[in-house]
Structure 1
């Protein structure tokens, strides 16, 4: 809440308190008169009615805008892949000029394999994950190793990423990253993630050994940075990750494109 809103709220509360105390003042002092007492009593009742009416209006307006009664959005939490950067492994594979058969086999062994997602959990060293990829299609061992070694090329920054994050910071919002990301990929792509320097904090899956949409990883970012879930909005391209955030009390936006996400933020009062 802005400072002027806090000041106005305190002034209003003080005024209502004075109105409520007036009947007692006139009743207990030598200035008592029935006319003054009744007038102050009516004023107190009127103040109570007005306070209740203002509360109802506030609730209705909040319901329309989608903001929580407990407070406005203060923190924006971003996923990285397909939100702030492109992750296009299909185009990346095309660059190698593999035959259709080999390309499909490597795609199944690496990018479409659950091992790729588990790699983001970071339970093992990079060489162990590479070995597991190779085990899926050992006939393409050499090419699989090359594909994985250069997989940082799948990540391409989106042109609006830095500007968007900096804009939110300038407006006074805190910005964070919550991303399924492997240690190797972060090492390979960190120079492309220039927006990270503007972040107030980040939780990468490999660091905490947790993955979205597991509930624990959402609690990790809330606890690590002392965030109130009602004051946060989470932006992710996967519906399952957004639903998981909502179950933890965090409002979410399922990202389709920048324009859609910016409009959704505006509806939450973030603009």
Structure 2
């Protein structure tokens, strides 16, 4: 078994999630949509659900603050699957290659406990992971060091033996500080090059080593 363990973020690395996939169907103009996502259902508001807040509670609070947008706010949960654009083939391809090479693979994601089952049912490649830590289930989110410690303890991992891949620099910096080797994800070519620099042998699904 290869010594290194590879840990993947989900959104932006393996899964294409974007609320705009839904809200472009709801709003008549991009300007209205962007205002709504910047002022009502903001990334910071969604992050609270990633940290374990129930959607019902978060939506109720916003509907009270923005009564003119109740239908649009409620859609954030009621039509949440429409925010999934599909898998990110660059990241999933590398994951499959690493699996073929016998590496231990884990997931560490900021994701609501209420919506992660949708991802599990839609994306078969998540079954290739040897374990997953979901922020909404733990009620702590990246870049908080505690969620990294939860991952390490649960799966008996050592940070110096792990490579953590994420598209968010704050998260990679937090992992760096704990002793992880990290890759800030941008594309498959850069990821493969960074992994090879870390002495990771990447295999194709058929088993042939990529040079």
**After TM superposition, is the score higher than 0.5?**
yes
Larger Rg: 1
Alignment of 1:1-271 (within 5 A): 73-99=3-29, 102-107=32-37, 108-110=39-41, 112-122=42-52, 124-155=53-84, 156-271=86-201
Higher relative contact order (CA 8 A, sep 6+): 2
| Count of paired positions | 199
Residues in 1 aligned to 2:21 and 2:74: alpha-carbon distance in whole angstroms: 18
- The answer to whether the Cα contact below 8 Å between 1:161 and 1:195 also exists between their aligned partners in 2 is no
Query: Cα RMSD over matched residues?
Result: 2.0
| Structure 1: unaligned runs, 5 residues or longer | 3-72
**For the structure 1 residues 133 and 105, does the alpha-carbon distance in structure 2 shift closer, same or farther, using more than 3 Å as the test?**
farther
Q: Output the TM-score relative to the length of structure 2.
A: 0.86
SS at match of 2:89: coil
SS at match of 2:115: helix
User: What displacement does 1:116 show?
Assistant: 0.6
Residues in 2 aligned to 1:176 and 1:208: alpha-carbon distance in whole angstroms: 16
SS at match of 1:77: strand
| Structure 2: unaligned runs, 5 residues or longer | 202-211
User: What displacement does 1:229 show?
Assistant: 0.9
Q: Output the TM-score relative to the length of structure 1.
A: 0.68
- The answer to whether the Cα contact below 8 Å between 1:115 and 1:133 also exists between their aligned partners in 2 is no
- The answer to whether the Cα contact below 8 Å between 1:79 and 1:179 also exists between their aligned partners in 2 is yes
Residues in 2 aligned to 1:257 and 1:225: alpha-carbon distance in whole angstroms: 28
SS at match of 2:16: strand
The structure richer in helix per residue is 1
